[in-house]
Amino acid sequence: MLTIESLTHLGLGRASDGRSLIPRVLPGEEIDVAQDGTMRIVTPSAARVAAPCRHFKSCGGCAMQHASDDFVAGWKQDIVARALAAHGLHPVLHAIATSPTQSRRRAKFAGRRTKKGALVGFHGRASHTLIDVPDCQLVTPALLATMPALQELTILAASRKGEVDLTVTETALGADVLVGTDKDLTPDLRVVLAALANAHGLSRLVWNDEPVVTINPPDQNFGGTKVTPPPGAFLQATKQGEAALLAAVDAITQGASRIVDLFAGCGTFTLPLAARAEVHAVESETAMLAALDRGWRAGRTLRKVTTEARDLFRRPLEPDEIAKYDAAVIDPPRAGAEAQIDALARSDIKTIVMVSCNPVTFARDAKVLVDAGFAMPWVQVVDQFRWSPHVEIVSPFTRK
């Protein structure tokens, strides 16, 4: 008999034997593990619930459906609090903003050919087994509705034994689909794919890096401005999560007339902020900047937006460049942005908003800013990846 003492940041239970890490258990539960590895819960936690998705037992897409919403919210808040406390940081944590079920508008499925056709879904936990997920409670109904199209694409794209990647993004005028495959795009195949896209109402179909057909613009709406991102470009996972992050960014930068948006992507923050301020968007991916710029030029009521293609890891904006702005928004990838944070810390800027998807690197970078004299009064945790260990974080850094 083992007792689960706590959970890791990945949701694995630390058992009382000091060695075992066990999935899909909760603190305080007593479990019995048989010699064949099967587990039986002897004493369940009061926070244990029936999984809302019938695929949970076999699918590896979610990790925490066996826990109540309140438990998951507290656990995610604690992940952030512990990462910050490790650096001596103890800001107020605002109530977590959790996206609802069936709200994830972008997903990467896998596809494999079968004797009867094709299977499209997610992999099982720590497994190469592909699981069909017709009643997935994570993605939007519009993404689930693309399954017939994705199955047909898999038959065309997959080899007998290999898998294909199918990245699907919901848009107002049909799904935007990116197929990752080893097969070449031939002229004959292009004709077949274009007909498939038209028959299933896809907005755009891209084969590896090569566009096949665009039937309708696969636009995203950033603060009322339409932007057509390049295929596979980064997008916040849910509309609700994006709105929560944007509300915090907007509130923190109130009063700033010139803002620099670092790691700007396609303009998730740039374009909404441009409704009231001039914004300089810096991003290494030129295709994303081009999409942002086209969106801005079409948004006639927006203030001036400028763009700059720049690798902020190798060549961060220096303090003399940062001095032009009243506020900085920085939303780096999971690795954080040590070089750029160091330059911000050495600058005279008074307001910084940091958005992050990694509590560990967020805490590391936050410590640098606090040591440089910035106050960090609060943190907002945003849960866009419901039932997973992932979190988004946004926080202000201000100094007099």
318 marked among binding-site residues: no
Res 326: pLDDT? 97
The pTM assigned to this predicted structure is 0.93
> What is the CB neighbour count within 10 angstroms for residue 162?
13
Give yes or no: residues 94 and 114 share one domain.
no
Give yes or no: residues 393 and 244 share one domain.
yes
Give yes or no: residues 39 and 166 share one domain.
no
Phi, psi of 340 (to 5 degrees): -70, -35
Res 299: pLDDT? 79
283 marked among binding-site residues: yes
Task: From 302, 330, 304, select the one nearest 225 (Cα to Cα).
Answer: 302
Retrieve residue 160's tokens.
Answer: 């007998």
Res 46: pLDDT? 97
Res 102: pLDDT? 97
Give yes or no: residues 303 and 386 share one domain.
yes
Res 132: pLDDT? 94
209 marked among binding-site residues: no
Res 20: pLDDT? 85
Could you tell me the residue range of the domain that residue 134 belongs to? 106-220
Give yes or no: residues 88 and 113 share one domain.
no
Give yes or no: residues 84 and 137 share one domain.
no
Give yes or no: residues 240 and 95 share one domain.
yes
Q: Side chain identity at 170, as an amino acid letter? A: E
Give yes or no: residues 254 and 130 share one domain.
no
331 marked among binding-site residues: yes
User: Quick check: is 32 in a domain?
Assistant: yes
Query: Residue 188 maps to which CATH number?
Result: 2.40.50.1070
Give yes or no: residues 91 and 142 share one domain.
no
Provide the number of structural domains found in the chain.
Answer: 3
User: Quick check: is 55 in a domain?
Assistant: no
Give yes or no: residues 292 and 381 share one domain.
yes
Active site residues: 357
Pairing assessment for the beta strands 118-123 and 258-262 based on DSSP bridges:
unpaired
Give yes or no: residues 186 and 43 share one domain.
no
Residue 167 β-bridge partners: 108, 178
User: Quick check: is 188 in a domain?
Assistant: yes
d(C-alpha 333, C-alpha 340), whole Å: 12
Q: How many CA atoms lie within 13 A of 72 on its CB side?
A: 26
Retrieve residue 234's tokens.
Answer: 């980064």
Give every CB contact of residue 389 below 8 A, 6+ residues apart in sequence: 9, 10, 11, 63, 64, 79
User: Quick check: is 62 in a domain?
Assistant: no
Show the low-confidence residues of the chain (pLDDT under 70): none
Give yes or no: residues 143 and 181 share one domain.
yes
